[in-house]
């Protein structure tokens, strides 16, 4: 697969950069460094991973 992509964070949701499936949610001022995640959209031969890095200074914006 080559280089592992960085997670996409949109409205507090952690999205896979390959298939855009939701793989979790950020609720506050988390601090996460170099967390390798296996996408929940992976299956059998189509397995893919991505990295999650979040600084605690980052504010999570949500709709509601």
The string of pLDDT tens digits covering residues 2-31 is: 789 999 999 999 999 999 999 999 988 889
Q: Is the pLDDT of residue 59 over 70?
A: no
pLDDT of residue 12: 93
In this structure, what token pair is assigned to residue 7? 């997670």
Length of the chain: 64
| Per-chain mean pLDDT for the chain | 86
Judge contact between 19 and 39, C-beta under 8 A: yes
Q: Is the pLDDT of residue 51 over 80?
A: yes
pLDDT of residue 64: 45
């Amino acid at each position: 697969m080559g280089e592992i992509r960085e997670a996409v964070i949109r409205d507090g949701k952690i999205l896979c950069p390959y298939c855009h499936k939701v793989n979790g949610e950020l609720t506050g001022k988390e601090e996460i460094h170099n967390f390798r995640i296996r996408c929940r959209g992976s299956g059998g031969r189509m397995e893919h991973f991505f990295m999650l890095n979040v600084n605690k200074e980052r504010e999570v914006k949500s709709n509601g």
